[in-house]
Amino acid sequence: MEERDGELRWDGLCSRDAATRAAALDNVGQAVLRRSQSVAPGRAAGGLQAAAVRDGLSEALVRLLMLSKRCPFGDVRERSEAILSSVQELGIRIPRPLGHGPSRFIPEKETVQVGSEDAMMHTLFADSFATLGRLDNVTLVMVFHPQYLESFLKTQHYLLQMDGPLPLHYRHYIGIMAAARHQCSYLVNLHVNDFLHVGGDPKWLNGLENAPQKLQNLGELNKMLAHRPWLITKEHIEQLLKTEENSWSLAELIHAVVLLTHYHSLASFTFGCGISPEIDCEGGHTFRPPSVSNYCLCDITNGYHGVDDIHASPAASIPTTESVCEVEALMEKMKQLQECRDEEEASQEEMATRFEREKRESMLVCSSEDEESAPTRDVSRHFEDTSYGYKDFSRHGMHVPTFRAQDYSWEDHGYSLVNRLYPDVGQLLDEKFHIAYNLTYNTMAMHKDVDTSMLRRAIWNYIHCMFGIRYDDYDYGEINQLLDRSFKVYIKTVVCTPEKTTKRMYDSFWRQFEHSEKVHVNLLLVEARMQAELLYALRAITRYMT
């Protein structure tokens, strides 16, 4: 990350070696102060050159603000803050963060504070920072579950940066295409920067029609995977693999499919946890000074009010008898279901009927929220057919055959196909799915030593049921017993139309559970969604190959 004039270098700040970081900090500090002095009030600087210096200085100051708040290395945080103070003393306005912490849904004081993390978290933060040059808000929310975060970062690093069928700039561009399908400007912003950093052509960012035909051809698969994966057939795969000079190889297509499903599901996590804009991205900082009341007009227009106002929510309030009863009632249902399981088992016909009933009911669940979801920058230029969105799979008399997991499963079919065509990725995905599915601390709200496997399986299977995927050995009657309507609304919104997720939806389910438990739910939603999309795409690829 080198400035054009070779003067300002940031790369040394990611080093694990303190001496290398110190030298880089000296370089950055001197360069920033030189520029600040040249445009400080009272200097007779004008014209295009001064404007360019000011623009470059603003970018550097925003970068320093981000480092002062989000760098896992204490020396970098302190020195970045000191450089900003020195600039301010010259009479130059410095930026400050907008919003409160990495999530709009979770009070900042309840998230892990950079600098006060434990040893395991620090290692994860340092790895992420060394690899990406940033410690992003997704990481700061996922770190509620360090074991999962480690697997997630390892997989994402492999997909984006290690040897693979696709060139680096294609990988980031596919990430942009996938995130844009859900209007996820948070992820689009990150990958626009990464795309340019690895040498991507800025013209491609003007719209999908400016990208190579090969990437444009991926648009159809992108929209179907994101919104209606059950419609993907071997003919769609054939079109991509047999378009002569713009054709994809099987290995490239597998890499692309994994990236698309990764970023569709990561958009679900981003909206489901209310991830805030990064400090150094649009909407994450302001150069306006705070007003006397500690927040200003620019905060209000961005949807940020007082700290107390933004986080006043049922989840943060004093436990009510009703919400405590909610936890007790859920635990009692789990106990009763376990006893019924032990006593009798439903017939195969009855199990199939219950699946069809749950599938029909899942189509009646929809978000009827009046509240606005978070405003996002328009990113529709990165994909075609903007009117194409999620539709339930059995609307208007159209019947999609049930996808029987026994006929095509991740464990028996998908895993080996991915691993054969894109070595090691099948293994990484398999580990990530298993960690999310099996993750438990044996707690439920204020209760300890609880077996939560029944609840976790109900959430996972409900998501797959919404995608038409059925497990013959699962009693779908359990879903209605364990997941209430507000929870189902949240799940369906986050998985199918994540851009419509609101804070009210997040607050309205599991009101007495910890925020870490709600983040845990989101990990289940992310991985179950990703696996469902993958199963449809990989089944179509398998059918094409046979």
Nearest to 129 by CA among 181, 167, 73, 91: 73
Instruction: Give me the long-range contacts of 116-121 (CB less than 8 A, separation at least 24).
Output: 117/72, 117/143, 120/146, 121/146
Beta carbons of 151 and 435 less than 8 angstroms apart: yes
Supply angle C-alpha 240, 246, 249, rounded to 5.
Answer: 55
DSSP strand pairing (96-97 vs 285-286): antiparallel
For residue 444, the SS3 value is strand
Beta-bridge partners for 286: 96
414 contact partners, CB below 8 Å, separation of at least 6: 408, 426, 531, 534, 535, 538, 539
CA distance 406 to 230: 16
304 contact partners, CB below 8 Å, separation of at least 6: 98, 99, 100, 295, 310
CA distance 61 to 497: 36
From the number of C-beta atoms within 10 Å of its C-beta (0-12, 13-18, 19+), residue 330 rates as buried
DSSP strand pairing (403-404 vs 469-470): parallel
Tokens at 51, concatenated:
């404007």
CA distance 447 to 147: 22
Nearest to 499 by CA among 61, 188, 94, 290: 188
DSSP strand pairing (285-286 vs 447-448): unpaired
Nearest to 415 by CA among 429, 404, 405, 402: 429
Q: Which residues are tagged catalytic?
A: 184
Number of residues that make up the chain: 546
55 contact partners, CB below 8 Å, separation of at least 6: none
127 contact partners, CB below 8 Å, separation of at least 6: 153
Beta-bridge partners for 156: none
CA distance 434 to 524: 10
CA distance 202 to 453: 48
Residues 68-86 as b or e (16 or more Cβ within 10 Å = b): bbbbbbeebbebbeebbee
